[in-house]
Amino acid sequence: MKQSSQCAVGIDLGTTFSVAAYLDSTGRPLTLINAEGDTLTPSVVLLEDYEVVVGKEAVKAMGSEMERIADCSKRDVGQRMFHKALGGRQYPPEALGGWILNKLRMDTQKQLGAYHKVVITVPAYFDEVRRKATQDAGYIAGFEVLDIINEPTAAAVAFGYHQGFLSETGAGAQRRNVLVYDLGGGTFDVTVMQIDGREFVALATDGDVRLGGRDWDQRLLDCVAEEFVRKYGLDPREDPNVEGRLWRECEEAKRTLSARQRATLSCEYRGQTVRLEITREKFEELTLDLLERTAFTTRQTLQAAGLEWSDIDRILLVGGSTRMPSVVRMLRDLSGKEPDQSVSPDEVVAHGAALHAGLLLTRHAGRAPRFQIRNVNSHSLGVVANDPQTKELRNAILIPRNTQLPAEAKRIFRTRKAGQKSILVRIVEGESAAPADCSQIGRCSVRDLPPGLPARTPIEVRFRYRENGRLSIRVKVTGTNAVLEHEIMRENSLTRDQLNSWRKYISGLPPLAQIVSEDA
Ligand code: ADP
Ligand code: MG
């Protein structure tokens, strides 16, 4: 066992699979293996009364204990509770993410020795609320989260490393535009990055938090189920365990169809059986609209970056679902270029996260490849304001999407009456003018205004959007020296006490003196 208090570890907390990687003594990223001996850990949690099982063994239980299984909990990150009760109890998605990360921590500490600092990845498209929840999941798992990093950025960094751009001699090379197409199990992300020497600049990003390999599986599953209904008037989807078993079969068949022209599926339910042979062609037909959705977003993102296909030097394939031949073909047709498959699509994100962790840790220690990241925000950030003309509430956008981070914006609010003690700022994220259609990040109530302020005193509220997509707020009362750092009261977020008790419960570890994820 190594001594590794400074070990640089990055974790890709995926919707369907999670991966951990670290930097070896030469600064090279390597994937870690879990207790089962695998590099990929299914992000599936089984909650028994007497134990919690994470990963492959939890997946096996999908055919028999579906009512106790949390699957794709990342899709619910940002919500107060996971959409389904497990064994009669409701859990916040942070706790489910916490269990997954805790398994990775326990398993990898066997190889690395005790370490606590990590970088965790998030889809670029994650909004502020989901980023905060991801950091909280890391905290619950017993980690100190050094930073979060966007998955496509991490992928580009790892790609840059493997291409030698981060080495002493590789830096200073020409500027390259890379399009990162990441189709995982539950989310889709596309990002245009510029790699300029050792600088990684995101130009534009877009995606869909509800589109991924699972949707391809579901099409196969529905196809079998509909055949069942046609033949027997029975729907196997009525029984969650039967559905769970059928899903596993469909996922397998989908993988087969990436390698072969046909696959067979069978389903048994209430003594009846359906066997179905599916050709790759049929499968592609069943899922064409899903692929089209990714093509549409890809074209739009390229446009948002102000680039044409001829400007793109590489198309980087990330995510297990890019193994589907239809994805490669679609991108080839769209771009007229051959997509790059030189890096492992399931490991590249974790490698980038480990490189980022190395960078953050070497600020103290002094090793590992150096590079710089510049991000854009994936959603516009605004405040809820009263429109003086219509008297209606609207989203006043302060920082438009695809702005380079860190970004700052300020807005002047005015007190309504003399001697006013507080003002309330409501922060929203989204493109719509109607606040109700945006994601409610939270409120910031400025309570400690100096006494005796006249009516209509200007109050300057300054937003700082950091490189990692987290937000902080600073309030200044014009004409005074009062500057107040304000914590945002977040919607659906766990309190400090709740975080600490989940941390104790799941990781067995005491609270950190300061909650890192709260230092925004
Ligand atoms: P996430 O980051 O969302 O957890 P991953 O990048 O690990 O996802 O990709 C997982 C998805 O990739 C799953 O939906 C899985 O079925 C799919 N996948 C993995 N290998 C293949 C393959 N050979 N053919 C088709 N799909 C695959
Ligand atoms: Mg992924």
The C-alpha atoms of residue 157 and residue 253 are separated, in whole angstroms, by 33
Decide the pairing of beta strands 44-47 and 52-54: antiparallel
What pLDDT shows up at residue 371?
A: 85
| Nearest atom within ligand 1 for CA of residue 213 | 14
State the distance from the centre of ligand 1 to the C-alpha of 113, rounded, in angstroms. Answer: 30
Nearest CA to ligand 1 atom 23: 255
The C-alpha atoms of residue 258 and residue 110 are separated, in whole angstroms, by 35
User: If you average pLDDT over residues 119-128, what whole number do you get?
Assistant: 90
State the distance from the centre of ligand 1 to the C-alpha of 336, rounded, in angstroms. Answer: 25
Whether the CB of 324 sits within 6 Å of ligand 1: yes
pTM across the whole model:
0.89
Q: At what angle do helices 325-335 and 288-304 cross, to 10 degrees?
A: 40
What pLDDT shows up at residue 470?
A: 83
More confident residue, 518 or 221: 221
More confident residue, 293 or 209: 293
What pLDDT shows up at residue 367?
A: 65
Nearest CA to ligand 1 atom 8: 184
Q: Where are the domains of the chain?
A: 9-168+344-374, 213-286, 381-486
What pLDDT shows up at residue 172?
A: 58
Nearest CA to ligand 1 atom 6: 319
Q: Which fold has domain 9-168+344-374?
A: Nucleotidyltransferase; domain 5 (3.30.420)
pLDDT category at 379 given cuts 50, 70, 90 is confident
Residue type at position 435: P
Q: Indicate the CATH number for domain 213-286.
A: 3.90.640.10
Model confidence at 515: pLDDT above 60: no
Is 182 known to be catalytic? yes
| Nearest atom within ligand 1 for CA of residue 151 | 2
What pLDDT shows up at residue 233?
A: 96
Is 429 known to be catalytic? no
Decide the pairing of beta strands 9-13 and 117-122: parallel
Helices vs strands, H then E, count in the chain: 11, 25
Q: 324-363: per-residue pLDDT in tens?
A: 999 999 999 999 999 998 889 999 999 999 999 999 987 5
Whether the CB of 181 sits within 6 Å of ligand 1: no
Q: Indicate the CATH number for domain 381-486.
A: 2.60.34.10
pLDDT category at 207 given cuts 50, 70, 90 is confident
User: If you average pLDDT over residues 466-485, what whole number do you get?
Assistant: 76
Are 213-286 and 381-486 in the same CATH fold? no
Q: 152-192: per-residue pLDDT in tens?
A: 999 999 999 988 888 776 655 678 999 999 999 988 999 99
- Evaluate whether 195 touches 368 at the Cβ level (below 8 Å): no
Name the 3-class secondary structure at 495.
Answer: coil
Q: C-alpha distances in angstroms, 473 versus 27, 425, 426, 469, 495?
A: 36, 10, 12, 13, 19
Give the ligand at the shortest distance from the Cα of 151: 2
| Nearest atom within ligand 1 for CA of residue 17 | 4
